[in-house]
Amino acid sequence: MAVLVGKQAPDFTEAAAIGQTTKTVSLSDYKGKNYVVLFFYPLDFTFVCPTELHAFQESLKEFESRGAVVLGASVDSAHSHMAWLRTSRNDGGIEGVTYPILADIHKRVARAYDVLDEAEGITYRASFVIDKNGVVQAQVVHHRPIGRNVEEVLRLLDALQYSEEHGEVCPANWTKGKAAMKATREGVTGYLKK
């Protein structure tokens, strides 16, 4: 599996379902303007996946308040996405999800991000935090039975933005509002003494 951290995120232009419409979405549309949280999930109409899509929706205002857009992606068609978007939460659907869901039916995006399980023809669960310059700053990949923690994705975004703004590094278990440190010997010793 490729490590994309520190590299330009592979650009893409794909159809995306947004509610009951489709729109063409390109990663380059956001460059210089927004942070991007791009996440891959295996398939529509499955089991762990709707819990994750709803979790991203429930935190959408938090992402937006940080200047980030959320993009979901799977290898399903836009028609499948729209059918799932019409399905109520009580029936395992994702009705109410408002962010774009890429229809990576040709699997170009999944291959470019190296998250496609070629033997199964579907993706792993993967999350990428991309900065405003289009550089991947965080990459987390899970096997399909393991659901992701959306709060952790927010924490990664917070740490990135804090580091950019203050020029400091964020230690283990850092969360917004906690102390960070200078990336120096004195910085770490001062932090550990507290």
Could you tell me if 106 and 47 lie in one domain?
yes
Burial label, 9 (beta-carbon count in 10 A; 0-12, 13-18, 19+):
buried
Domain assignment present for residue 6? The answer is no
Domain assignment present for residue 5? The answer is no
Question: Could you confirm whether 170 is annotated as catalytic?
Answer: no
What kind and span of H or E run contains 13? strand 13-18
Could you tell me if 141 and 179 lie in one domain?
no
Could you tell me if 159 and 143 lie in one domain?
no
What kind and span of H or E run contains 51? helix 48-58
Domain assignment present for residue 81? The answer is yes
Could you tell me if 135 and 185 lie in one domain?
no
| Degrees, nearest 5: CA angle 65-142-133 | 40
Could you tell me if 129 and 175 lie in one domain?
no
Dihedral sign for Cα atoms in the order 44, 45, 47, 49? positive
Could you tell me if 172 and 92 lie in one domain?
no
Domain assignment present for residue 128? The answer is yes
Number of domains in the chain: 2
| DSSP strand pairing (101-103 vs 116-117) | unpaired
Q: Which amino acid, residue 84?
A: W
Could you tell me if 110 and 189 lie in one domain?
no
Structural domain boundaries, residue 178: 149-194
Q: End-to-end CA distance of the chain: give it in Å, rounded.
A: 39
Q: In what order do the strands lie in the sheet with 13-18?
A: 21-26, 13-18, 101-103, 68-74, 35-40, 125-130, 136-142
State the pLDDT at residue 39: 98
Catalytic residue among 4, 25, 27, 49: 49
Could you tell me if 121 and 165 lie in one domain?
no
Domain assignment present for residue 180? The answer is yes
State the pLDDT at residue 44: 98
Could you tell me if 118 and 80 lie in one domain?
yes
| 144 touches 126 (CB < 8 A) | no
State the pLDDT at residue 194: 86
Q: Residues in the chain with pLDDT < 50?
A: none
